[in-house]
Amino acid sequence: MERLKILFVTKSVPYPLMAGSSQRTANLIDALTRVGDVSLFVIGPPNRKPFLERAGYQVVATAEPTAHRLSWVGRLLWRLLPNRGENAWRALAGARADFTPDPGLSEALVQVLAREHFDLIVGRYLMPSAQAGILGQGQAPCPPVIIDIDDVDSKAVAAKIRSPASSLLLRAILKSRLEEVKQYEKVLLGRAARLWFSNPDDRSIAPGMNADVIPNIPYEMPDREDLKHSLPDSKVILWVGSFSHRVNLEGVDLFLQQVWEKILRANPGVRFRIVGSHLPDSVRRRWETVPGVDVVGFAESLREHYADAAFSIVPLMDGAGTKIKVLESLAYLRTCVVTTHSIAGFETLLRDRDSIRAVAGLDELASAVPELLYHPQTRHTMEDRGRAIIEEHFTRDAVRNDVHRSLQFLLGKVTHD
């Protein structure tokens, strides 16, 4: 069988690899290139094309949304907020703007499909896939479509409603839209030939549909021989995560406001080290004034920070999908103190007091920290267990095999490199 021709529609670019969303994009493209030639349809500015091509990717087109320019409100917001105009307009326009074809995107897709044949389209996330018109709403007939859901939009909205960081006004607005988002999801997911989820629990939103789990994995897998157990006397608690993702920024901020002072007061000498790209300067300045906090920002290498850490912490109460940062910590031989929300989808493998320390809410983090901080042997046992789970279940080969199996089910015999 000849190699497949695959069109990968994405807003989340596979390079640079500073955020979990980009890492998953890169991993999926890597798996797809084992069975076919992958061309990218990139939702974003034209300057992304040469940038990605220099990184080795084939980009067939770039396109930007235009629907916000068709209303006077959208045009006004675009002028007032040039960097956030589209997002502001979508916030006002509601779910219909999020889940229906955008004129600029769908027209660009029609042009691509008119001049080039593809055997398969893979859309990264439901919302941008719907805006590009690949789910049967566009003007051109499409080949079979797979949608990589990763984060379920309705679950993300529900989590935002529950989040302590959300204002009463925002909760009211989101509550009014939640059912509409669920309806769009139900209709659009039913049009896909196959669905990919990162969280096994998310398959419940599409019962009876063709769905597979393609796990999120740590993008880097350092050699076990190069890693050492946490230093017995380490008092460094580590956060690693990109702040381009709103959930991370709000989660760390809430942790510092509500929990960190309790931890610091009960555990003299403890340090909270914050590593992550895209941290706004105003937030950095504010966090740097908090006692016991070391703000690193972007780091070229994570090895030294994991080496210094007693363990990492993921204090998130918001977001959907699965949290790659938990897996990354285990891959670096560091256990993790987490909220149960942060290990959603991993519960059958990552168990409390086995490989991680999990608590229900933010308040309980303060009592969980000393359980690991002063018991290095307990940490070391959990570190070994966590790394073994990563090696068995969360590797690049696992993603490649799961993608290949899904394509075989959908398309029949598929040649695999």
- Integer angstrom CA distances of residue 48 from 2, 126, 316: 30, 21, 31
Give me the mean pLDDT over the 238-260 stretch.
88
- Integer angstrom CA distances of residue 258 from 80, 183, 246, 336: 34, 36, 18, 19
Q: According to the model, what pLDDT value does residue 124 have? A: 94
Q: Tell me the pTM.
A: 0.84
* pLDDT of 415 above 90: no
Q: According to the model, what pLDDT value does residue 375 have? A: 94
Sign of CA dihedral 305, 310, 315, 321: positive
Which residues in 218-270 belong to E strands, given as ranges? Answer: 236-240
Rounded Cα–Cα distance for residues 288 and 274 (Å)? 10
Rounded Cα–Cα distance for residues 26 and 33 (Å)? 11
Q: According to the model, what pLDDT value does residue 176 have? A: 84
pLDDT, averaged across the chain = 87
Domains and CATH numbers, the chain: 4-66+102-217+396-411 (3.40.50.2000), 224-393 (3.40.50.2000)
Rounded Cα–Cα distance for residues 373 and 316 (Å)? 20
Write the CB contacts of 243 (distance below 8 Å, at least 6 apart in sequence).
249, 252, 276, 277, 278, 279, 280, 283
Which 3 state secondary structure label does DSSP give 397?
helix
Which residue would you say has higher pLDDT here, 144 or 414?
Answer: 144
Q: According to the model, what pLDDT value does residue 72 have? A: 65
Using an 8 Å Cβ cutoff, are 322 and 23 in contact? no
Is the bond leading into 215 cis (omega within 30 degrees of zero)? no
Give me the mean pLDDT over the 321-325 stretch.
80
Write the CB contacts of 236 (distance below 8 Å, at least 6 apart in sequence).
270, 271, 273, 308, 309, 310
DSSP string, 143-187: --EEEE-SS-HHHHHHHHHH-TTS-HHHHHHHHHHHHHHHHHHHH
Rounded Cα–Cα distance for residues 193 and 214 (Å)? 16
Rounded Cα–Cα distance for residues 384 and 330 (Å)? 9
Using an 8 Å Cβ cutoff, are 341 and 320 in contact? no
- Per residue in 193-225, pLDDT (tens digit) is 999 998 888 888 876 778 899 998 888 889 999
Share of the chain above pLDDT 70, in %: 91
Q: How many residues would you count in the chain?
A: 417
Is the bond leading into 280 cis (omega within 30 degrees of zero)? no
Q: In degrees rounded to 5, what are phi and psi of residue 315?
A: -95, 40
83-92, 156-165, 370-379: which has the minimum mean pLDDT?
83-92
Q: In degrees rounded to 5, what are phi and psi of residue 337?
A: -95, 125
Q: According to the model, what pLDDT value does residue 383 have? A: 97
Q: Which residue type does 9 have?
A: V
* pLDDT of 283 above 70: yes
- Per residue in 103-146, pLDDT (tens digit) is 899 999 999 999 999 999 999 999 999 999 998 754 555 789 99
> H or E segment at 354?
none
Work out the pLDDT band at 89, boundaries 50, 70, 90. Answer: low
